[in-house]
Amino acid sequence: MKEETFQVKRERDPGFDFSKPARKTALLCTNGFQNADIHDATAMKEYFERNFAKDYPDCEIVPVQLFHPAEPKTHRAHLYEKILDEKIREYLGKGYDIVLMGYSFSAALACKMQSKYAGKIKKLILVAPIYDTIVNHMIEGYVKYVLKFRRLSKKYGHAVAKAMGRTTTKGMIGLLLSILRSILFCRGYYKKVGCDTIIIRGDDDELCTTHSLHKVRYKMKNRNILYTYHKMNHGILKTERANGPVYEDVLSYSFGTPRRIPTEESVLQPVRKERKVKLDSDGNPIPTFAQIFDQLDPEAEESYAEDQKAL
């Protein structure tokens, strides 16, 4: 690996635990919008096994595949939740402590699972979390990808498939819709996370925009800190050469592993935003629009479950 110094801005909180686990610990990693069957966390898992597994025998990285890109029958938002839920219960049943990492669209789903298994999921890592779906041109970007793939495939054939990591765009629009559905029905759980959380983002990220990040952190009421990586985009887990410091920060928080890759670090104090509460004439808090909406439609999630059964 070429010797290079990466620039990272890390917020620091003295209360966060970076020690080596005393119990068996599994880092469960969900995938984002993949265009190939190679899981986003595969390269990080290989990096851990190559450099640290021998000294950390009770620690394990588990890539959780929420869907298969070329299999449309797996493109269902309710299946993503079912798959992750089953994997969490599997490792709890084996006696593991769990660190949960959500990437891109599945960061919101990870928040929902942490809320469901509060006290059992010890730490949370959100990598390039997405909150917006319209403001960040997410839909437009995915549609352009499909059109570009089809156009280049006609011109260059199988060489394009090899370069872009997949052989077909079949089902991609349906996959996009299921991902949007997952974001919309899970992002309310950002505010229900109950454990310490590290948020990871590249400063060139076109999907986890500044606006999206602000929304995520404003919603979250738990203790959270942000790591920002210079000149990294939404594909922040691709390779050791390009994203090695991200791997090391994830592993350091999860398992207490040392860092091997040199970084030029800026240490920041975590942002603590005071939430202004407006009072009515009687001195009672005025509810927000979101709180009013929840009261008007308290069975929204049950309605969503019924919709899924009908699909």
pLDDT tens-place string over residues 4-63: 789 999 999 989 999 999 999 999 999 998 767 789 999 999 999 999 999 999 999 999
Band (pLDDT 50/70/90 cuts) for residue 207 is confident
Whole-angstrom Cα distance, residue 53 to residue 39? 19
Largest distance between two CA atoms of the chain: 70
Band (pLDDT 50/70/90 cuts) for residue 303 is very low
Residue written as token pair 């919101």: 108
pLDDT, position 38: 87
pLDDT, position 295: 47
Whole-angstrom Cα distance, residue 140 to residue 11? 33
pLDDT tens-place string over residues 123-181: 999 999 999 876 556 566 666 656 666 676 666 666 655 554 445 556 677 888 899 89
Token pair belonging to 87: 């994997």
Q: 265 has which bridge partners?
A: 8
The long-range contacts involving 275-280, CB below 8 angstroms and separated by at least 24 positions, are none
Whole-angstrom Cα distance, residue 104 to residue 126? 8
Token pair belonging to 169: 């765009």
pLDDT, position 310: 46
Band (pLDDT 50/70/90 cuts) for residue 209 is confident
The hierarchical CATH code for the domain 6-269 is 3.40.50.1820
pLDDT, position 177: 84
Angle at 17 between CA 221 and CA 236, to 5 degrees: 75
Instruction: Break the chain into its structural domains and give their ranges.
Output: 6-269
Task: Answer whether 254's CB lies under 8 Å from 227's CB.
Answer: no
Whole-angstrom Cα distance, residue 221 to residue 190? 8
CA distances from 252 to 52, 54, 68, 97 (A): 11, 15, 29, 16
